[in-house]
Structure 1
Amino acid sequence: MASTEHPRVSPSPTAETTSPQTTLAITDIVVLVIYFILVLAVGLWVGASLFASNVGSGHFIGLAGSGAAAGIAATAYEWNGMLMVLLLGWLFLPIYIASSVDMYAGAVFIQQALHWNIYLATVIMVVGALILMGFKVGGFQAVLDKYPQAIPSIRVPNTTCGIPREDAFHIFRHPVTSDLPWPGVILGMSIPSMWYWCSDQVIVQRSLASKNIVHAKGGSLLAAYLKVLPFFMMVIPGMISRILYPDEVGCGDPDVCKEVCENPVGCSDIAYAKLVMELLPAGLRGLMMAVMLAALMSSLTSIFNSSSTIFTMDLWRNIRRTATEWELMIVGRVFVLVLVVVSVLWIPVVQASQGGQLFIYIQSISMYLQPPITVIFFTGIFWKRTNEKGAFWGLIVGMVVGCTRMILDFVYPTPQCYESDTRPEIIKYVHYLYFSIILTVLTLIVVTIENATQFPKDMENDACPTKEDTSSSASSEAGSSKLKSALFWICGMEKQKGEKPKSPPPEAPTCSLKEDPCMRHVVNANLIICISVAVFLFAYWA
């Protein structure tokens, strides 16, 4: 055919048969290499995004402070996150991707709204932390040997003030008398962690922005591997800081602590900042402080904007339905101002809570507020009989009980090393990690009872009718019972009078559930490796 239409072109049979095959083979190899590079790059991008969203200035200050104050036990929160982010990639993302186009739209918005300075600041903080990790005191073995001897020269006599914990290098600690009991680490810690890693919109929507499920799983894997780093970048530098500056970081006298950091409870939270200011060279020191402030401002901006939006759109707009856009803007700004004032007034409470450890304070608050949300979220996804009433009362009861315990913790703070423990037994002997377990069980019981009373057994498999059922039954049975009408309303099938039928939303290019067989085997193999690494780390330092 080619020789007939183009007589001047007369390639030899050898060239005609072999050259195209050679060209195609090279192209195939190039495309394959580019594909694997792109998969790796996207996985790195998603994983770095997840890690950057999780790690901020609070981690550096809080984890280093907890390391200086009590050893490596706080690392359990990070290594627990390794397992939870894998749960996101392998269990929850397929559910999200298959069920919601709106989530995809939100993910695209979040992806387009991201700024490079977040990632750049994170990279600089990580590099700075790795440099600080190099300022060891004679190697890792020296840290193990010298940390128990990091005792301040001035401390309250005949007390444990200023003396490092004997179990400082253990993650699993005594189930009754320790600061982080091991049963609570295994169970109570995992519940809020599931909420954060598997349902928080900041984390989930970054994963939903992936091209396909393999990319999302790869990002979860990278984020899980990166969660190993805080032990070396934050906790160990905090312990080094206490070794180098025992009188300041590990102060054991309230008057000395007040003079050092204006907090008589303790100064362990200055551990990381102390290293930065004392050990890093001038240029790098300023850069580290700048990016940490930028990360802090970014976090505060996100929190204040989200809180302001929730207040103005979900509360104020319902109170004043005729509010103009100008009024909503003014109300939002005033609410942010109120939040700032409350936050400043709350600083003394944070200083006095949990022995002055910022990271532990944050985690304890999570244990009081997040378990009910986790239970509602999980039952809503995995239990078909979950209904609105059960979710509502489970959330209300859980929140009331959790807030009550949180208030009691503020009223009866943890006694200092020189004080006797006179707290009520319910606070003294029920650790906040144990309370997380209790609160989870209580919320689950309330949800179960409400669901059992709301739905008869014969409706268990047909609680929410399909669209075909509603279109036929709603039109033919105008005078249906109140129960059926309420049921349609709960399931979102209610149709307003005179409302035109809504056309189906246009299909959006959602993240695909299809997996390349080769890459599926790669990520699944890495899943096993990553879980093994997490189990090994827990077992080695247990």
Structure 2
Amino acid sequence: MRLSSLDIATFIVYCLALIGIAWWVSREKAGHVKNTQDYFLASKSLPWWAIGASLIAANISAEQIIGMSGDGFRMGMAIASYEWMAALTLLIVGKFFLPIFLKKGIYTMPQFLEERFDYRVRIVMAIFWLGVYTFVNLAAVLWLGALAINTITGVDVAYGMVFLALFSIGYSIYGGLKAIALTDIIQVVLLICGGLMVSYLALNNISDSFGDGGGAWQGFSIMLAEVPEKFNMIFDPDHEHYISLPGLSVLIGGMWIMNLSYWGFNQYITQRALAAKSLKEAQKGIAFAAYLKLLMPVIVVLPGIAAYMLRPDLEMADQAYPTMMQLVPQGLLGITFAALVAAIASSLGSMTNSISTIFTVDIYKKLINPEASEKRSVLVGRSAAIVAMLCAVIVARPLLGNLPGAFQYIQEFTGFFTPGIVAIFLLGFFWKKATALSALVAAIGSAVLSLAFYLWWPALPFIDRVGLVFITCMVLAVVITLASGAKEHDKAIELDDIQFSTTTSFNLASLGVVLILIALYAAWW
């Protein structure tokens, strides 16, 4: 498939317009030099709609659109549990975690860990996050995005990665988080409209191919009738994909640990909420994002199931979404292609900005040049973003080129570390006796125990492994703390000073999410 001249023109206009808007919203008043709060936290001025849209734009990228659609092709709607359970997780983060972070006035997650524990925990976790964001998340988004571009346009994967890297740096490098967050409004609108178009056309094509041309709703009904196994949300132990989504663990087990880590303690996600005008504004943005998460499976999973019916002979599951994009007629394909690139570029920009934030705040200003000026720090942050992107371009193909499903690979790899991360933060939040040594033991123990289970108990589903390692890390941290004397830590958080109460609108929004989730799982249990 190739883009028409009109499609190419539409896409070029989108790219130029986005860069122009990003630079325009990032401009400073005459005489004001951009400082670290401006660059890394958007001057703490983000409204709720920008926070909600930016959370989704940072989250939904190639690994979701391409990778999760590919898993929809292989496993069906069950993979949507990552999206639907995330909606509930967001609300928990907004109510219980975000008030603590905003009260502390932090820039980064490692910074919080020093304020609660000590500098050792901060440095260890800063180095860890820099490595994971660069060599796992950033590399995966670049690779899957370039793969999609190759499928749609025929452009070589290497050139596709270079284009994505240059484009995302081009619109985010000057303005920082403010440029990313405010342009994410455009990105999310484009993503949703383009994604819904692909889903509608795929369902309509199923109706034409297997029915009497009754339209998209008939196509959906045909899918339910022809491939009902693709709509089983909870897998039995004898299911071929049980090891990826082990039954009730997606509702009450290790899935919670994965989601709490991603939505609560992931720098390139939480950074948007840290940049909010106020706590209430951040919570409204999180509620908005939760409802968008409920919609995402329609955009990213449904096309994969449709591809299973229309093109069951695909060589790679990750080709499902780009293949469904081929149904979009010439003239509109440019818009849909722009929507895909919008999602990819937004995530790349978000990740590089967070990498630059952690490197500048937690490594450069902490270890290398504590007296660095604001101007120097912003320059270092921009340089770190460029270096991280270059590294990701170089390692993407060797790391991901031969994998059958990139989304599950990302979950599997990050699952080695997330149990310890969640244990550290939960103990740091809610147990005043937790010590720095116990935090380090939980962090290191998470990786060691996960590797041990991976090597010696390969039949254990990784989500169950995450839950088991989390419990073990919590026990280890508690034992270490009690063995050291179990006195109240001098950096313990005073929860009485934190405002955990939420507005009526937030509570009603939360109730709505819960009721929708109950209805979805009751329908497709």
Answer yes or no: is 1:541 the counterpart of 2:524: yes
Picking from 64, 73, 77, the partner of 1:72 is 77
The 3 A distance-change label for structure 1 pair 392 and 87 is same
- Residues 60-459 of structure 1 mapped to structure 2, 5 A cutoff: 60-100=65-105, 112-114=178-180, 116-135=182-201, 136=203, 137-138=206-207, 139-140=216-217, 142-143=219-220, 145-146=222-223, 167-175=229-237, 177=239, 178=242, 179-186=244-251, 187-248=253-314, 257=315, 267-276=316-325, 278-303=326-351, 306-307=354-355, 337-348=390-401, 351-352=402-403, 356-403=404-451, 408=455, 426-427=457-458, 429-456=459-486
1:443 Cα deviation from its structure 2 partner = 0.9
Q: What is the distance in 2 between the residues matched to 1:381 and 1:533?
A: 30
Q: What is the distance in 2 between the residues matched to 1:404 and 1:292?
A: 38
What secondary structure, in the 3-state scheme, does the structure 2 residue paired with 1:242 have? helix
What secondary structure, in the 3-state scheme, does the structure 1 residue paired with 2:248 have? helix
Structure 1: which amino acid aligns with 2:522? A
TM-score (normalizing by structure 2):
0.65
What secondary structure, in the 3-state scheme, does the structure 2 residue paired with 1:282 have? coil
> Counterpart of 2:213?
none
The 3 A distance-change label for structure 1 pair 331 and 131 is closer
Structure 2: which amino acid aligns with 1:381? F
Q: What is the distance in 2 between the residues matched to 1:432 and 1:514?
A: 33
The 3 A distance-change label for structure 1 pair 521 and 446 is same
Decide whether the 8 Å contact of 1:221 with 1:530 is kept in 2.
no
Picking from 16, 37, 58, the partner of 2:63 is 58
The 3 A distance-change label for structure 1 pair 304 and 332 is closer
Decide whether the 8 Å contact of 1:132 with 1:275 is kept in 2.
yes
Unaligned runs of 5+ in 1: 1-40, 150-163, 249-256, 258-266, 409-423, 465-489, 493-511
> Counterpart of 1:527?
510
Q: What is the distance in 1 between the residues matched to 2:176 and 2:344?
A: 19
Q: What is the distance in 2 between the residues matched to 1:454 and 1:197?
A: 32
Structure in which a larger fraction of residues adopt helix:
2
Structure 1: which amino acid aligns with 2:234? F
Q: What is the distance in 2 between the residues matched to 1:97 and 1:372?
A: 23
Q: What is the distance in 2 between the residues matched to 1:312 and 1:227?
A: 31
TM-score (normalizing by structure 1):
0.63
Decide whether the 8 Å contact of 1:82 with 1:534 is kept in 2.
no
Structure 2: which amino acid aligns with 1:182? G
Unaligned runs of 5+ in 2: 1-45, 112-174, 208-215
- 1:494-522 C-alpha deviation (Å, 9 max, x unpaired): xxxxxxxxxxxxxxxxxx9698xxx9223
Structure 2: which amino acid aligns with 1:380? G
Decide whether the 8 Å contact of 1:124 with 1:291 is kept in 2.
yes
> Counterpart of 2:163?
none
> Counterpart of 1:159?
none
> Counterpart of 1:486?
none
1:535 Cα deviation from its structure 2 partner = 2.3
Which stretch of structure 1 is more off in the superposition, 392-401 or 332-341? 332-341
Structure 1: which amino acid aligns with 2:65? F
Q: What is the distance in 1 between the residues matched to 2:422 and 2:467?
A: 12
1:378 Cα deviation from its structure 2 partner = 0.6
> Counterpart of 2:121?
none
The 3 A distance-change label for structure 1 pair 388 and 170 is same
Structure 2: which amino acid aligns with 1:168? K
Q: What is the distance in 2 between the residues matched to 1:45 and 1:307?
A: 21
Q: Which has the larger radius of gyration?
A: 1
- 1:452-482 C-alpha deviation (Å, 9 max, x unpaired): 11125xxx3x442xxxxxxxxxxxxxxxxxx
1:436 Cα deviation from its structure 2 partner = 0.6
Decide whether the 8 Å contact of 2:52 with 2:287 is kept in 1.
yes
Q: What is the distance in 2 between the residues matched to 1:514 and 1:142?
A: 46
> Counterpart of 2:116?
none
1:401 Cα deviation from its structure 2 partner = 2.6
> Counterpart of 2:159?
none
1:72 Cα deviation from its structure 2 partner = 0.5
Fraction of identical pairs, as percent: 27
1:318 Cα deviation from its structure 2 partner = 9.1
1:49 Cα deviation from its structure 2 partner = 2.3
Tell which has more relative contact order, 1 or 2 (C-alpha 8 A, sep 6+).
Answer: 2
- 1:184-210 C-alpha deviation (Å, 9 max, x unpaired): 212111101011112223332322333
1:42 Cα deviation from its structure 2 partner = 4.3
What secondary structure, in the 3-state scheme, does the structure 2 residue paired with 1:182 have? coil
- 1:208-240 C-alpha deviation (Å, 9 max, x unpaired): 333333332222221111111122112112211
- What number of residue pairs does the alignment pair up? 392
Structure 2: which amino acid aligns with 1:269? D
The 3 A distance-change label for structure 1 pair 315 and 343 is farther
Q: What is the distance in 2 between the residues matched to 1:335 and 1:42?
A: 29
- 1:89-139 C-alpha deviation (Å, 9 max, x unpaired): 2112222233336679x9xx9653435443322221210111122221234
What secondary structure, in the 3-state scheme, does the structure 2 residue paired with 1:189 have? helix
> Counterpart of 1:10?
none
> Counterpart of 1:482?
none
Q: What is the distance in 1 between the residues matched to 2:483 and 2:217?
A: 59
- 1:344-393 C-alpha deviation (Å, 9 max, x unpaired): 21123xx43xxx22222222223222111011111011011101011111
Which stretch of structure 1 is more off in the superposition, 520-529 or 41-50? 41-50
Decide whether the 8 Å contact of 1:147 with 1:243 is kept in 2.
no
The 3 A distance-change label for structure 1 pair 387 and 57 is same
Q: What is the distance in 2 between the residues matched to 1:200 and 1:246?
A: 36
Q: What is the distance in 1 between the residues matched to 2:383 and 2:282?
A: 40
